[in-house]
Structure 1
Amino acid sequence: MRPSEVQAWATDRSRVLAPTTLQQAVGLLRSVYGAAVLDRLVASSPVVRIQLPRHERERVVPLSVEQVAALAEAMPERYRTMVLTQAGLGLRIGELLALRVQDVEFLRRTVRIESHFTQGSKGERSDPKTPRSKRTIPLPRVVAEALAAHLAASPAAEDGTIFTTRKGAPLGHVYYGHNLMGRAVSEAGLPKGTTSHDLRHHYASVLLAAGESVVAVAERLGHEDASLVLSTYGHLMPDSDDRTRSAIDAAWDAASASCAPDVPQDAQPVR
């Protein structure tokens, strides 16, 4: 196979595959040929200098606090706290549905993410998405108060699951993420296409606006790589122009002061 043939294949596939899917396919092919070269099955890899269609990631426009509050208000009363919890902790939908009382440390003001529900799991817990997804998240006051009020009105299930149906059964992805969320989005007048994942975007945007580091935000979200936070939310980071100016001016002001010659107070000016 020649590079031109690989390019022709990639160009053809670009007409039917999404850019990210095509990138993964080309990456897999590159890995296969790389292994073949190492085993000396082929002399060289033809997967070189392949031109792929440019992929522009759509910029995230996070929900405001007012929009999240409106979304929560539009939910049935039993499920309003779910919106506040997901927005205040940045949880994935499966992590939210699997949250248990024993995971919430009200005195230490932390929440441990130990498991999640996969779609169609029917309440069976499994390990989170990645090793980094097992994490401890600071518990904000607004979420702690909402959880306490929810548990007082709707006690947790026998296994500690916080959010359940009226019959005490665990909630499913479709019921919360599509049925309940879809109706609430429409009633609250939020942008069409808003999903529960937008609550994670809201969480990240609030932390970045407050000056939290990219690494810290990645840890809170359970991401393996902080670069994903940069690529997704970089445009939301606060403008640092003033900090840049102040930093340079301060450094040069300090240097100028230390380098200035000492002039005796009684010295006569030069004529």
Structure 2
Amino acid sequence: MASIVDRPKKDGSVTYQVKWRQDGSWQTENFGDKDQAEQFRKLVEAHDNKWPYGWIRGKGFVEPDEHPNDAPLMDYANRYVDRLTGVDIRTREDYHREIRLHFIHLVHTRTDGLEVPATICNITQDDVTDWVRREQEGQLDPKDASRWLRKKADPKSIANRHGLMYCVFQAAVDATPQLRTTNPCKKTSLPRQDDHVDQDMTFLERDEYARVAKEITDPDARDLADFLVGTGMRWSEASALKVKDLNLTSERPTASVQRAWKRAKKGAPAGEGFFLGPPKTKKARRLIALSPAQVEMCRRLTTGHGPEAFVFRAAMGGPWRHSNFYHRKWQPAVQAAIAAGLPKKPRLHDLRHTHVAWLIAKNIPLPAIQARLGHESIQTTVDRYGHLVRELDDEITAAVEGIMSVPAPRAGLRAV
């Protein structure tokens, strides 16, 4: 039988020694906590007064070293991001921030219930599921229930972080030599994003946009707002448009999206916080058809300017900066419109969503909208805007009614 012996120390603390005889000799293991000592004593007796399988004296349960090339997850994830190609500096920084702030909460729970730091090889599917739950629930300060140590993450943020985590583990699966055989993120059940998507977007009716536009007193700023809602371009694309990107003389005038503003690396000198780079995705490089009114606007704005000049220019002649436009032009106009009775509070990006809503209201097919917006996948367009496609309901129900109202052929009748 195993027993526990209290062993006082000179500093007044006490360690607890589990003691038993195995094969004629005394065996001992020390613990700083009495409950842990009691649990270990029961384990020894359950193993017929022998060391529990997998237990290493002074260390505890140590899992076999099956992965000699294993590495801490944080180190491996950061190296993965550093080696990515085709991403700009700011995106790389964002990935590193997600790893630093959120991957740190991914831990491995061993078979004995003990949590140990995550490595690229020890993480299981259950560990990833536990991480998703922690992200979803957040963490309150145990000393102050009104204060969050870590706020709850919304479903979209969890999905984005999980997507990055999936790529990190897939790199370990695809590595040579292979570090692991399966991706623990592959079958994760993520929180639904339905409500989050709906709440994130504001759609303006034509008269509602007119109420906001009326409050934009700067004609140059009004031109840019009209162009955003009339083309569905992203702010970073429209504000980067140059004279050479316009084709106003052909039968089908267009604006070519070839570049967009990108955030520079943090700590960049003042005035160098943005730079021109490629659009968001490959399909974001696109031609956007212009209406006659938009052609007239572009001709008015570009007459007398060279090919490298920006189409939309601020008061000093340079390109618009998002913060200046938003705080000095857009936000005051929205606040004035709300004071006059506007029931919505649209963001600047909601002009893009509004453009889509107007197209859907005119029965423009979603694949055509996908191409106009520059979405990489039609699924993105469907997920964000599919719920707006209601104008065809009458046509759909009429078609179903027409099909169902045709009598089915009766058995036994033959064509003559």
Same fold, TM-score > 0.5, yes or no: yes
**Which of 166, 178, 182 is residue 331 of structure 2 equivalent to?**
182
CA distance in 2, matches of 1:139, 1:3: 50
Instruction: Confirm whether residue 57 of structure 1 aligns to residue 196 of structure 2.
Output: yes
**Which of 195, 204, 213 is residue 72 of structure 1 equivalent to?**
213
CA distance in 1, matches of 2:189, 2:403: 45
Question: For residue 154 of structure 2, what is the aligned residue in structure 1?
Answer: 18
CA distance 1:261–1:246, change in 2 (3 Å): farther
CA distance in 2, matches of 1:26, 1:167: 44
Instruction: Confirm whether residue 114 of structure 1 aligns to residue 258 of structure 2.
Output: yes
Larger mean CA deviation between 85-94 and 178-187 belongs to 178-187
Question: Given residue 10 of structure 1, which amino acid in structure 2 is its aligned partner?
Answer: V
Question: For residue 246 of structure 1, what is the aligned residue in structure 2?
Answer: 398
Larger Rg: 2
Tell me if the contact between 1:62 and 1:201 (Cα under 8 Å) persists in the aligned partners: yes
Q: What RMSD in Å do the two structures reach over aligned CA positions?
A: 3.3
Alignment of 1:209-248 (within 5 A): 209-248=361-400
CA distance 1:28–1:91, change in 2 (3 Å): closer
RCO higher in structure (CA 8 A, sep ≥6): 1
**Which of 115, 120, 126 is residue 277 of structure 2 equivalent to?**
126
Question: Given residue 134 of structure 1, which amino acid in structure 2 is its aligned partner?
Answer: R
Q: Which structure shows the bigger proportion of residues in strand conformation?
A: 2
| 4+ residue segments displaced more than 6 Å | 252-256
CA displacement, residues 78-133 of structure 1 (integer Å, 9 cap, x when unaligned): 32111111111111111111122232222332221122222466774322111111
Alignment of 1:196-211 (within 5 A): 196-211=348-363
Question: Given residue 382 of structure 2, which amino acid in structure 1 is its aligned partner?
Answer: L
Instruction: Confirm whether residue 104 of structure 1 aligns to residue 246 of structure 2.
Output: yes
What's the offset of the Cα at 1:53? 3.5
**Which of 81, 89, 110 is residue 223 of structure 2 equivalent to?**
81
CA distance 1:157–1:24, change in 2 (3 Å): same
Tell me if the contact between 2:263 and 2:275 (Cα under 8 Å) persists in the aligned partners: no
Instruction: Confirm whether residue 138 of structure 1 aligns to residue 282 of structure 2.
Output: no
CA distance 1:35–1:83, change in 2 (3 Å): closer
SS at match of 2:313: coil
CA distance in 1, matches of 2:406, 2:126: 59
SS at match of 2:196: coil
Tell me if the contact between 1:117 and 1:125 (Cα under 8 Å) persists in the aligned partners: yes
What's the offset of the Cα at 1:202? 1.1
Instruction: Confirm whether residue 173 of structure 1 aligns to residue 314 of structure 2.
Output: no
Q: Which structure shows the bigger proportion of residues in helix conformation?
A: 1
Gaps of 5+ in 2: 1-121, 139-150, 265-271
CA distance in 1, matches of 2:275, 2:178: 46
CA displacement, residues 1-22 of structure 1 (integer Å, 9 cap, x when unaligned): 4444333333223213332232
Question: For residue 267 of structure 1, what is the aligned residue in structure 2?
Answer: none
CA distance in 2, matches of 1:156, 1:178: 28
CA distance in 1, matches of 2:130, 2:241: 49
CA distance 1:169–1:57, change in 2 (3 Å): same
Q: Identity of aligned pairs, percent?
A: 25
CA distance 1:48–1:147, change in 2 (3 Å): closer
CA distance in 1, matches of 2:274, 2:310: 9
CA distance in 1, matches of 2:164, 2:331: 37
Tell me if the contact between 2:243 and 2:307 (Cα under 8 Å) persists in the aligned partners: no
Gaps of 5+ in 1: 263-271
SS at match of 1:57: helix
Tell me if the contact between 2:202 and 2:344 (Cα under 8 Å) persists in the aligned partners: no
Tell me if the contact between 1:211 and 1:238 (Cα under 8 Å) persists in the aligned partners: no
CA distance 1:52–1:93, change in 2 (3 Å): same
Alignment of 1:157-172 (within 5 A): 159-172=308-321
CA distance in 2, matches of 1:53, 1:96: 34
